Structures are given as structure tokens and as C-alpha cells.
Amino acid sequence: MAIKPYNNHLPLNNQKVNISYLSPDQLDRLTDAFLDYYEENERYRKVRGRLWIVYLFLRYTGARLNEILRVNESTDIDFRNNEVKIVTLKQRKQSFRIVPIHTKTISELMLYLSQYPDMKGKIFALTGRAFQLAFKTVCQRAKIPLELAHPHILRHTRAIELLRSGVPVTIVQDLLGHSSLNTTAIYLRMSSQEAKMILKDKGLI
């Protein structure tokens, strides 16, 4: 069942928190559109390949964009164990976390480096603005609504995906680099409309 994305307003410290995320169908369309964007023109493959790799790391780690852009694949990625070391931002004391990544991501990274060995140590050295512009372009191709066409949507989407797959909330907290469990717990809440759709899908109502 592909659940439509929604804007969920949840109370946190007497404030309204707006959580939006992509449905599984939208996420698949976006990934396919990004791959097409990368492969469609040989002339731009070297440049767009970096954007594709950054996209995959965002999609499968749930990290913040600025965190991924700090990664150096020469020192921060364990290719044998499919892990990446990510410096955790938005915490008073700088720390890092080790996040498992999808084998597809490692394969795409290794393929890119085999094609463009001169890019070793430079793949993630992009500006946030450059990636944001490309992300918006690809979202338009994938027919993703404008209000969802920002890289941080992948962080929200990954959190929802992990929790729905049964990953314990404390592990999700560690993977996302949340300093407080309360922040992660926001993703556990869902609207009454979505709850009704899930119950119907499972034949419970």
C-alpha cells in the first residue's frame, strides 16, 4: 500500500511541528528520475554522478545534507563493511556516528570512482546550493509536489521507513543522530486518516 504523504502537525514543547515525507511510490519515482538524470547525457555524467552518489547517501542514511557533504570517501567510508562515518551536526559537542549503508550505494560509488579515478576524495565536495537546485529539478521530473522538493524530505522519509519496518526507535535515533529521543518519537505519531488506511489495508476495520 502506498500511503499518500501528508503534513502532520504534532505538539512539541507547545509548538506545531510540520512533518512531511514521501510515499514509497514517490520515493521510487524520485530514485528512478535521479538515475535517468545521471545517465541521460554522457557529457554531464561526471558532474551528475556526484549528485547521484550524494542522493543515494541521503536516501539510505537519513543524514542531513550538510553532514553528507562533509564525507570524504577516502577516509570516512568502510567499503568492506558498508558503513560511513558521519560527523553529527546540531549537537553542542561534535561527535560522529557510524551508519550502515545499502550495498547499492557502495556499488554505485565504486563504479563512479572506477570511471573517474581523478574524483577520489572530491565526490562529496559540493555546495548545498548546487545539490538543492539539482534535487528540485529531478523532483519536477518525478512529479513530486513543490512543497516536498527539498533534500531534507529524504531524512523524514528514511525515519518513517525505518520505523515502519520495525527498527527500534532508539536505533533510529542513533542512525539519524538525534540528541533527544523525543525528536525521533515524533515520527511514531500518525494522523487518524493514515491510521484508518493502515487498518483497512490489514483488514482490521
Which residues carry out catalysis?
Answer: 64, 90, 152, 155, 178, 187
Point out which residues pair with 96 in neighbouring strands. Answer: 87
User: In this structure, is the dihedral angle defined by the CA atoms of residues 9, 148, 68 and 104, taken in order, positive or negative?
Assistant: positive
Tell me the C-alpha distance between 142 and 28, whole Å.
Answer: 9
DSSP states along 133-182: HHHHHHHHHTT--GGG-STHHHHHHHHHHHHHTT--HHHHHHHHT-S-HH
DSSP state of 112: H
